[in-house]
Structure 1
Amino acid sequence: MATEQPYLHNLSGVFSAPIQAWADAHGQIRGAGAQGIYCGDDRVLNGAVLTVDGREPEWVSTQLRSSKQTDYIYFVRADADVADPLLSLVRARTAESGRIRPGEDTESLTGCTGRVAETLTLESAFREPVTLNVRLALAADSTTMEQIKQGERSLRPVEPAASTWSWRDADTELRLTTGSGGETVPGTVGFNGTTVTIDWAVEVRPGAAAVLEWAVDLTDADSPMLAGDGPPIEAPVSADPRLRNLLQRSISDLNSLRLAHSSHPHDTFLAAGAPWFFTMFGRDSIIAARMLLPITTAIARGTLRALAGRQGTETDHTTAVQPGKILHEVRRTVLTMAESGQALRLPPVYYGTIDATPLWICLLHDTWKAGMPDAEVEELLPNLQDALEWLRDHGDLDGDGFLEYLDTSGHGLVNQGWKDSGDAIRWHDGSLATGPIALAEVQAYAYEAATVGAELLDAFGRPGAQEWRDYAAGMAERFRARFWCEDELGPYPALALDADKKAVDGVTSNMGHLLGTGILNQEEQELVVRRIMDPTMFSGYGVRTLSTTNGGYWPTRYHAGAVWSHDTALIISGMLADGFRNEAAQLASGLLKVAEANEWRLPELFGGHGSDTMRAPVPFPASCRPQAWASASSVVIAAALGPGPAAAGPEGGTAGGHEGLLASAR
């Protein structure tokens, strides 16, 4: 059966991981597509439609207060003879998450709690009181995220008969409450199949607000994901009002993505993004934490420990785990989906990623440089040694000195770099390369990981540093000999090596990730920067994932033409580290325009259309909003366009300033 992934670009949401609520742009939750209220990867309500005297109020404005609160402003037509909108209704929706706390002395906690609540405030300028009947129609649901992403409906309808019910099993519970005291108007709850109604009889007096309230309290006692622990990230200060808007919005988004795993409840990391990836992702969490090092080390330290706690210790082709390997993603259950015509079946803990392990090493080094206490680093040195050995013993499938991937399970990810869709690795003519695939940027990550890993081993008196310096030198030599291509615009690094060890000649943004890693000499850096800045790659808004000259290019193809905010930000970081400040500022200015066009929220990705043809960036309609590494890119943009932001909080361990960004982001 054909499936259609729901679009999100015109939806509105509130988020507090692992709780989220998605509505249409006017605040109504109608059950279409991804609209609904979620706890973890389950949608528990797919409808919340508000009416006044039998018809929907007239929406006029949506006011985003934070990632956790949005206000929807309506007018109610109470008198047909009065043209002025004299009766207003403000619908303030909030999301908050928490934890089940059976005892703080236990090291391992399970279970999460959360609340989605609304306050409805009616105010009138009429001379006489206005009597209204307000109704909220809720629709109970039990649909998994994977079903929603594939456009499917739940096969397990929920029919509540009381204000408390389970949506999946005895470990999950939803409790509906309505305001019944103080200044609020009490509501009457009714049940009919999957529909739950709340009715309020309201008298709105001139100059006196009538307040209605309702909420759903959600409990998932067996959830592996918990709300993040510790203080929230504090927004850095910038004198530039545009950068200030970007940073404030981004930090609000990032705080709404803070999670912890039940096995490490005090180690906070960032969920990859809402709604599709509201969970732990190795690569995404690492990159976002690394970008944030100039303003906080807390997220990086939590991410390092949480991932180290699940580092591979065995070999299993079903999960793609290997000794020393850092995981790709964690889910509650098996994830079954269709991807580019292939049936995916990913186990709850899946290790199918080629780059998370070297990136984990780089994050450990950069967090240490940014102020992570030596004692905390020392605790992770055994994990560092295991991760370095994975580069040598497992990441290189055929002994040629390069890291490559190949899904041997038959139901895992075909591509295992950050461009992990099935059609991402293309020759210049647009045809797909066959694996095993050795990606260009992964070799650079391995080079950097070996270099900084050796520095850590020396600094902490551990043996083996010279082996990894030799490994890095050999990687640079092999890369220089095998990866370079040439076309009419000159030499450039290939996207990858294919199964036959031929250089896949697609011109892509991947080459930009080589900057700042140390694998390129000065001349090679200049060649890469020149190619990245060419109009075939730089759209004016950001760096396209694939050159417009490629036979497979399309501006809204996920990994083959669209622009990803974090991808461009990583390139900016590399340019800054290698001294290309002017080019970095040009790319950062493009992303700042994108943020401004999207109410200061950097999208996960957007169309590769040129800024000379589109007055505003074209949305990629199914992309996450918010998304961790896109939001964290704001710190990189701020570093490229002005003095680096300084951390505001007392948590300590910040690199601080622009130089800190260069030391930590790449």
Structure 2
Amino acid sequence: MIDSAPLLPGRQPFLDDSVICLAAPSFALSPRDGQLRGTGVDGFYDQDQRLLHTLRLLVDDQEPEHVAYRTEGSREAFFQAVCRSSEDPTSAPWLLVTRERAVRRPDVAVTEPESEAGSGDVVLVQNVGPAAARFTLSVVAATDLADVATIKAGVPAADIPCELGEGLAPEVRWHSPRDNSEVVLRAEPAPLNDGALEPKITLDDHRPGLAEFRWELLLKSGEEWSVRLVVQGKATTVADYPVPPRQPAPWGPVEVTGHERMAALLTKGLADLEALRLAEPTASADERENQFVAAGCPWFLGLFGRDSIWAARMMLPFGTELARGTLRTLAGRQGRRHDAFTDEAPGRILHELRPTETRHGDGLVLPARYYASVDATPLFVVLLHEAWKWGLAEKEVRLLLPQARAAMEWVAATLGPDDLISYGKGRADGLLHQGWKDSPDAIRDAEGRRVDPPIALCEVQGYAYQAAVGYAELVTALQDDKKQAQVWLDRASRIRAAFQRSFWVEEPDGRRYPAIAVDGAGRPVTGRTSNMGHLLNSGILQSEEEHRAVAEALMSDGLRTPWGIRTRSAHLAGFNPFGYHGGSVWAHDSAIAVHGLAATGFVDEAATLLDGMLDAARHFDHRLPELYAVYANSRFDRPAPYPPSCRPQAWAAAAAALLCSAMLRVDADVPDRRLTLRPIAPSRMGLESPYAVRGLRLGERSVDVTVDLHGGAQVSGIDTEEWRIDA
């Protein structure tokens, strides 16, 4: 029996060359030859747990030679291999081996026959030699049933012993006593010569947990045979944990014509978001689901407040149903009490939800429900307000106003005497930082010195300001509560004034930029970073001069690259193009900057960055990764992958929608029947013909926009007598 290689201890596995099949919460990762050898992150997964780490295909105890692979959508991959004989002087293969992998969501009705339900592989072998061939085909399998956090930390886990199953088809079963999770690998062989072909199943006495299915085959020339390998698991999860969605994606079809790169990016992004969907459990199949998108595969395939909110915000021009599902899902888990271990507090919005408590290495221990984010709570209110503007039904908004009020009360309680919203030092084994840049070294000054909490982040002040103003508008319009609205408008003014006092940094040449943060002593943390891009659309900047200062800083040599905005300027000490938050380029972060620049009138800057991001996507098969690296002063003419990053990742996939919105410079106010369009002219994006976007949603209305060569917009799908169109 062939043994598989161990995990490389202590290092996060790389993913950039992995073939990923995804249908959340299930996925599979493998090298390009499709073999699962028990190394790195290889395996079939479900609910944050690895079901199999080894599924190795052998012919006469040797691996076939890999030829090619391709993916089909997000869920399927096809691998081709051959077997050659050293006795054949032509080196022509005598056996063709095809492996078809499909990942399907568990417990969901499928249209395939019963035998085709479940994730797994179909192996097809065909004798293409001139004579009959006798050979063995075997499949070696093993698992550790490890959780994703353990794998991410590069911590080896012991294999689980296995036993023969008792099903009608040949099967092997692994069961973990530590959490009662289990997995079954079932073989469903096709008949051969009109007879059943049962495998010999061997369990390795020297390595408990390693199982082998072996078939002795005799194929005539031109004859083929197949076996289906079905992987089914059962994981232990917390109560009311999200489930695979039963209903279609909560957005309609969207089409871009006349701009091929944008069309390709948006098509791939929407497909990735579809694969990342999860839903709240419902009582009946007919009940309307609350769907949201998981943060990313494989490390964050679950509900993450900040990530799911941002993805829903970016998707608002294509429908409000994803926002509705995201808001309701988070509202149901809003904090109600104070808990030091989970960081729960009344009104606080969840940071992340896992099936079980997770240990991430380096002493980091996170509970299944964890609330330690400083930005998810104001962003929840921002999303509710923006969804209302884009046409979320008034009754749906009203139902969520109590949760919005509780969230704003948390914001009020978190504001310090300096009128800034900040976070302090949490428990020693929890997250150090609570913004989107949450790695331990994410907050550093211009000299590269690490700055630890208490911290007030610049973008969080913008979110809090935007939430306060938006909430005031909501309670005025829907509750006629002008007194409460004024309370929040006053608080917004104080947040804005505090931002003005605390965050602006002036350089020796007189140029200014907002600091990434203010430390516990009230000092701005110097050094240009990408966080300031989030301020452009928040309303917290007071003047055109301040907007211009941010635009110029974002477009400066240290931050701007040909393919996006760096998280930290290359001119600062400690810059690293592969630093997670210390110099890499994040897709969503750059897209937010593009959108903010376009919305505030810096059209040429927005068009330049938009072109660069579309070019970056081209180097990644039109899928923007979570983050990537751009070398400083390098002749390397493309962005480099950040190998451990998620693929796909929710706000990177949704960045395609935000870039499309930035291209149209679109804004909506459905309650007031107003649509604003200031499209970027084709010539500014290197196009020589008009472009169009079909499938924008204004409430229940589907709207198409066509942009002529000069940037003029024509709109169809709404009554111009009822609506005011500013174009």
TM-score normalised by structure 1 residue count: 0.90
Which of the numbers 552, 562, 577 marks the counterpart of 1:555?
577
**Structure 2 CA distance for partners of 1:201 and 1:584, relative to 1, 3 Å:** farther
Distance 2:604 2:37 in 1: 47
Amino acid at match of 1:452: G
Instruction: Name the structure 2 match of 1:188.
Output: 199
Q: Does 1:68 align with 2:90?
A: no
Distance 2:324 2:351 in 1: 18
Q: CA contact under 8 A between 2:143 and 2:159: conserved in structure 1?
A: no
Distance 1:202 1:295 in 2: 53
Stretch of structure 1 that moved more, 26-35 or 630-639: 630-639
Distance 1:597 1:460 in 2: 47
Distance 1:155 1:132 in 2: 33
Amino acid at match of 2:227: L
Distance 1:318 1:277 in 2: 20
Instruction: Name the structure 1 match of 2:188.
Output: 179
Residues 169-568 of structure 1 aligned to structure 2 (within 5 Å): 169=177, 172-181=181-190, 186-192=197-203, 193-204=208-219, 209-220=224-235, 222=237, 224-232=241-249, 236-239=254-257, 240-262=259-281, 266-338=289-361, 343-393=363-413, 395-396=414-415, 398-463=416-481, 464-488=484-508, 490-520=511-541, 521-568=543-590
SS of the residue corresponding to residue 96 of structure 1 reads coil
Deviation by residue 1:280-328 (Cα, 9 ceiling, x = unmatched): 1100110011111122322211110000001111222222111111011
Which of the numbers 159, 163, 167 marks the counterpart of 1:160?
163
Q: CA contact under 8 A between 1:178 and 1:186: conserved in structure 2?
A: no
**Structure 2 CA distance for partners of 1:628 and 1:427, relative to 1, 3 Å:** same
Number of residue-to-residue matches in the alignment:
644
Distance 1:329 1:484 in 2: 32
**Over aligned residue pairs, what C-alpha RMSD do you find?**
2.8
Stretch of structure 1 that moved more, 258-267 or 44-53: 258-267
Which of the numbers 120, 124, 129 marks the counterpart of 1:121?
124
Residues 597-608 of structure 1 aligned to structure 2 (within 5 Å): 597-608=619-630
Q: CA contact under 8 A between 2:317 and 2:661: conserved in structure 1?
A: no
Give the C-alpha shift of residue 187 in structure 1: 5.0
Give the C-alpha shift of residue 649 in structure 1: 9.9
SS of the residue corresponding to residue 100 of structure 2 reads strand
Distance 1:246 1:30 in 2: 33
**Structure 2 CA distance for partners of 1:505 and 1:271, relative to 1, 3 Å:** same
Distance 2:661 2:369 in 1: 36
Residues 616-627 of structure 1 aligned to structure 2 (within 5 Å): 616-627=638-649
Q: Rg: which structure is higher? A: 2
Q: CA contact under 8 A between 2:692 and 2:704: conserved in structure 1?
A: yes
Give the C-alpha shift of residue 167 in structure 1: 3.2
Distance 1:308 1:134 in 2: 52
Stretch of structure 1 that moved more, 46-55 or 196-205: 196-205
Distance 2:585 2:550 in 1: 18
Instruction: Name the structure 1 match of 2:719.
Output: none
Give the C-alpha shift of residue 235 in structure 1: 5.2
**Structure 2 CA distance for partners of 1:275 and 1:378, relative to 1, 3 Å:** same
Instruction: Name the structure 2 match of 1:14.
Output: 21
**Structure 2 CA distance for partners of 1:180 and 1:209, relative to 1, 3 Å:** closer
Higher relative contact order (CA 8 A, sep 6+): 1
**Structure 2 CA distance for partners of 1:86 and 1:291, relative to 1, 3 Å:** farther
**Structure 2 CA distance for partners of 1:242 and 1:131, relative to 1, 3 Å:** farther
Residues 32-181 of structure 1 aligned to structure 2 (within 5 Å): 32-78=39-85, 80-85=88-93, 87-99=95-107, 115-123=118-126, 125-155=128-158, 157-162=160-165, 163=171, 165-169=173-177, 172-181=181-190
Deviation by residue 1:591-619 (Cα, 9 ceiling, x = unmatched): 22222212222111111324863222111
Instruction: Name the structure 2 match of 1:107.
Output: none
Distance 1:647 1:208 in 2: 49
Amino acid at match of 1:388: M
Distance 1:601 1:347 in 2: 32
Distance 1:370 1:656 in 2: 15
Give the C-alpha shift of residue 576 in structure 1: 2.1
Q: CA contact under 8 A between 2:318 and 2:696: conserved in structure 1?
A: yes
Instruction: Name the structure 1 match of 2:669.
Output: none
Give the C-alpha shift of residue 486 in structure 1: 1.6
Deviation by residue 1:319-339 (Cα, 9 ceiling, x = unmatched): 211111101111122222335
Distance 1:475 1:434 in 2: 22
Distance 1:593 1:189 in 2: 52
SS of the residue corresponding to residue 570 of structure 2 reads coil
Deviation by residue 1:616-660 (Cα, 9 ceiling, x = unmatched): 211111111111111111112333456674338999477876999
**Structure 2 CA distance for partners of 1:244 and 1:132, relative to 1, 3 Å:** farther
**Structure 2 CA distance for partners of 1:194 and 1:653, relative to 1, 3 Å:** farther
Q: CA contact under 8 A between 1:19 and 1:115: conserved in structure 2?
A: no
Amino acid at match of 1:160: E
Amino acid at match of 2:153: Q
Q: CA contact under 8 A between 1:122 and 1:204: conserved in structure 2?
A: no
SS of the residue corresponding to residue 238 of structure 1 reads strand
Stretch of structure 1 that moved more, 363-372 or 242-251: 242-251
Q: Give ranges in structure 2 of 5+ residues lacking alignment.
A: 1-7, 110-116, 166-170, 665-690, 707-712, 716-727
Give the C-alpha shift of residue 231 in structure 1: 0.3
Stretch of structure 1 that moved more, 195-204 or 379-388: 195-204
Amino acid at match of 1:179: E
Instruction: Name the structure 2 match of 1:664.
Output: none
SS of the residue corresponding to residue 366 of structure 1 reads helix
**Structure 2 CA distance for partners of 1:277 and 1:528, relative to 1, 3 Å:** same
Q: CA contact under 8 A between 1:129 and 1:203: conserved in structure 2?
A: yes
Distance 1:428 1:189 in 2: 65
Q: CA contact under 8 A between 2:565 and 2:589: conserved in structure 1?
A: yes
Amino acid at match of 1:226: V
The percentage of counterpart residues that share the same residue type is: 34
Q: Give ranges in structure 1 of 5+ residues lacking alignment.
A: 102-113, 661-666
Amino acid at match of 1:231: P
Amino acid at match of 1:250: G
Instruction: Name the structure 1 match of 2:720.
Output: none
Distance 1:156 1:546 in 2: 41
Distance 1:584 1:250 in 2: 20
Instruction: Name the structure 2 match of 1:27.
Output: 34
Amino acid at match of 2:600: D
**Structure 2 CA distance for partners of 1:209 and 1:366, relative to 1, 3 Å:** farther
**Structure 2 CA distance for partners of 1:655 and 1:392, relative to 1, 3 Å:** farther
Stretch of structure 1 that moved more, 211-220 or 648-657: 648-657
Q: CA contact under 8 A between 2:628 and 2:641: conserved in structure 1?
A: yes
Which of the numbers 608, 615, 618 marks the counterpart of 1:586?
608
**Structure 2 CA distance for partners of 1:533 and 1:282, relative to 1, 3 Å:** same
Deviation by residue 1:72-128 (Cα, 9 ceiling, x = unmatched): 121221562334457432211110113389xxxxxxxxxxxx932212233455444
Distance 1:655 1:470 in 2: 37
